[in-house]
Amino acid sequence: MATLTISYFGSIREGIACDPIKSETVTTSTSSAASGVVPANAKVAMLHSTVEHYATVGTGTPSAAIGNGFYLPANQPIPIHVNDVGGTYKFAAVTLS
C-alpha cells in the first residue's frame, strides 16, 4: 500500500498556491481509492506521493485505473486547478504496481 497526500489551497498569488485550507492522506493500492470532497473554497489541490499513480477527478465516487486520468510521477508535487468544483468532486488514484 502507498499513500497520496492532497493539500488544498484557497488562492493563487504570483503563480504560488496560498492560504492553506486542509490536507488529507488517501491510502492507495492497485484498486481505486477516493479522497474526500474538494473543499468548496479551494482553488488549487497539490497532489504528492513517493510512488507513481494514475489519478482522476470526478463527481460522486470517481474510479481511477491505469491509463485513465492523468499520470502522477513519484516525488513530484503536481498542482491541479480545482476552482468551481468544490463540494461535489473527489480525486481517485491507483498505484502503478
Show me where the domains of the chain are located: 2-95
Q: What is the pLDDT along the chain (97 residues), one digit of tens a residue?
A: 899 999 999 999 998 999 999 999 999 999 999 999 999 999 999 999 999 999 999 999 999 999 889 999 999 999 999 987 878 899 999 999 7
Is 0.75 topped by the overall pTM? yes
Exposure string for 57-93, b = 16+ CB within 10 A, e = fewer:
bbeeebebeeeebeebeeeeeebbebeebbeebbbbb
